[in-house]
Structure 1
Amino acid sequence: MPYALVTGASRGIGRAIATDLARRGYNLLLVARSADVLAQLATELGQAHRVQAKVLAADLAAPGAAGRVAEWASAQAPDLGILVNNAGYGLWGRFEELPLTDQQNMLQLNMMVPVELTHHLLPLLRQQPKAHILNVSSTAAYQAVPTLSLYAASKAFLLTFSRGLRYELRGTSVSVTCLSPGATNTDFPNRAGMNADLQATANKFGMTPEEVAQIGTTAMLAGEAEVIPGALNKISAALTSFVPKAVTEKIAAGLYEKHLK
C-alpha cells in the first residue's frame, strides 16, 4: 500500500484518521509537534496493523516548516498516495482583544500550511494511479462566527480552496475532499481558550474523533467532494444557504459571546 501523510497526527481527529488509514492498510508519515507522542503512536499502529509508520516532529507554523516536511515526505515515500491536511486550531475571543501575533500564527497553520504542502506534494501525488487530498475544515466554514471570526474565515478559505483545486484536478488521478466536522470531542475548546461551559457543551453534543475520521476517510477514498459528519451538522450547514446571514450570525454570537468575560 502507498503512504499517507497526516499532519496534526498526535491527537484528536488527526490521530483518529491516522489510525483509520492504518486499519485500512496504508503506511503512514505522521507529523506533529510532539516527538514522544508520535513515536508511541507509530509503534502502536505498526504493531496493531502491520504497517510502516514514520514520524517527523515539527512545528508547522514555523517559517519554512511546510517545505521541510514536504522534502522529508518526498524522500521517505516516493509512492505517496494520500495527503491529509489536518493540522490547525482556533482562537476564541473578540478580534481586537486577541494578540495579533497569535492570530497570524493560527492563520499560517490553518491556511498557508495546507496550501504549501499541497503545492509541494501535488507533483508526487500525480504520479500515482490513484491519489487523494483530504483537507480538514469545519462547519464554521459555512458562516461567520463572531468570537471565532478568523478561525471561521480560515476554514472558509480551506473549503473554497478545496472546491477550486478539485475542479482544476478533474480528469487527473488526484481527487480532493473537504471534511467539515462540527463539534467533536477533542482538545479544540481548551486550545482555543474557551471557558469550561463551552467546553462542556462541546463534549456533550460532539461526535467522537473516531466517528469523524471513519466518515472522512471513507468519503475521501470514494472520491467525494465534501462531507459533513452527523445529521445535525448537515442540517445546520444547509440552513446557512436559506436563512439570512444576519440571523445565523446572531445565533452564533448568542452561543459564544455570552460566555466572554
Structure 2
Amino acid sequence: MSYTVITGASAGIGSEFAKQLAETGQDLILVARRKDKLEELAKTLQAEQGINVVCFAVDLADPKGSEILATEISTNNLAINGLINNAGFGDRGGFIDLPLERQMQMIQLNVTTLVELTHRLAPNMRQQVKPFIINVASTAAFQAGPNMAIYYATKAFVLSFSEALHEELRPQGIAVSALCPGPTLSEFAEQANITDSNLFKAGAMTSAEVAKQALANRNSAIVVTGIKNQVGVLFGKVSPRFMTRKIAGWLQA
C-alpha cells in the first residue's frame, strides 16, 4: 500500500486533486491546517471510493512544519508514491506596504517548505511504482509581478527547481512536474485579494479542470493549464521583459 501526499488539501485545487486521485483508487495523505476540513473530506472519500485516507493537521508555514510531517509519515511507516506540493498563498499589494512577516511566511511556505518536503520524501518514493511529484507553480512564474512581487518570485523559483528535478530524478523513475495554472476559482484567490483584479475579470478556470490537466500530464516538466494561459506564456517568452512586467502589474490592478 502506498500513498500520495497532498498539501493544502482542505480546499481549492488541493481538494480536487484528492477527489480525482481517490476516483482512481489511490490512497491519500491529506495535509492542511484545518483538521475539521481534512477529516470531512477524508470521510467522504473513504465512503464514496473505499480508499485509505490519513490526515495530518500541520501548519506548513511554520519552519518546523515539514519536519513534523515527514516524521509523522516515517513513524507510521507510510510508503509514498506521490507528492503534490500544493500548499501556498499570495497577497496583492506593494512590497513595502504589505507586512514583512506575512511576506516571509509566503517564502517559507511557497519555497522553503516545498523544497524541504521534496528532499525528505523523495528517497521514500524511489522504491514505488511510477512515483511522481507535482509542484504547484503558476503562470506568474514566467515574469516579474509588480503588486505581487514576492508571490511571483516564489513561483519562479518553483518552476526552475521543478525543471531541474525533472531531469535529475527521471533516471531514478520519479516524474517531476511544475503545474502552472493561471487564474483559478478557489479559496486561494479570495485570500490573496485578487478576485476583483483585471486578471480575474478576464476569466478563470475551475479547480477541478486544473487538477485534471495536471494529473493527466504529470510526466511533463511544465504543465500550463488552458489554451489562454498557454498563449499568454508564449507571448511572454517573445516579449521584452519590461513589457511583460508592466502587463503583469496592470493585471494585478
The two structures, once aligned, show a CA RMSD in angstroms of 1.5
- In structure 2, the CA distance between the partners of 1:204 and 1:11, relative to structure 1 (3 Å rule), is farther
Residues 63 and 108 in structure 2, CA contact (< 8 A), matched pair in contact too: no
CA contact (8 A) 1:128 1:173 kept: no
- Any unmatched runs of 5+ in structure 2? none
CA-to-partner distance for each residue in 1:36-75, whole Å, 9 max, x for gaps?
A: 0100000001111110011011110112110110111233
Query: Aligned partners of 2:44 and 2:138: how far apart in 1?
Result: 28
Identify the residue that residue 208 of structure 1 maps to in structure 2: 206
Structure 2 residue matching 1:94: 3-state secondary structure: coil
Q: Give the structure 2 partner of residue 110 of structure 1.
A: 110
Asked if the contact 1:5–1:29 (Cα under 8 Å) also holds between the matched residues in 2, the reply is yes
Shift of 1:249: 1.2
Report deviation, 1:203.
6.9
User: 1:47 aligned to 2:47?
Assistant: yes
Q: Does 1:154 align with 2:149?
A: no
2:236 alignment partner, one of 235, 240, 246: 240
Deviations 1:172-207 (A, max 9, x none): 12110111100100122321134x6329x6276111
Are the aligned partners of 2:84 and 2:134 in contact in 1 as well (CA < 8 Å)?
A: yes
Aligned residue for 1:240, secondary structure, equals helix
| SS of match in other structure, 1:197 | coil
Amino-acid identity (%): 40
Letter in 2 for 1:209: S
Q: Structure 2 length normalisation: TM-score?
A: 0.96
Separation of aligned partners in 2, 1:166 and 1:197: 35
TM-score norm. by structure 1 comes to 0.93
- Cα distance in 1 for partners of 2:202, 2:230 equals 18
Shift of 1:77: 5.2
Deviation at 1:129, TM superposition (A): 3.2
Local SS of the residue matching 1:101: helix
**Aligned letter for 1:179?**
L
Q: 4+ residue runs of structure 1 moved beyond 3 angstroms?
A: 75-78
Give the letter aligned to residue 219 of structure 1.
N
SS at match of 1:205: coil
Count of residues in correspondence between the two structures: 253
Give how far 1:168 is off: 1.2
Residue pairs, 1:187-226, within 5 angstroms: 187-194=187-194, 197-198=196-197, 202=200, 205-220=203-218, 223-226=219-222
Cα deviation, 1:202-221, whole Å, max 9, x if unaligned, reads: 2761111000011111111x
Residues 204, 249 of structure 1: CA spacing in aligned structure 2 closer, same or farther, 3 A cutoff?
closer
| CA deviation profile, 1:151-171 (whole Å, cap 9, x unmatched) | 000000000000111111131
1:7-26 equivalences under 5 Å are 7-26=7-26
Unmatched 5+ residue regions in structure 1?
A: none
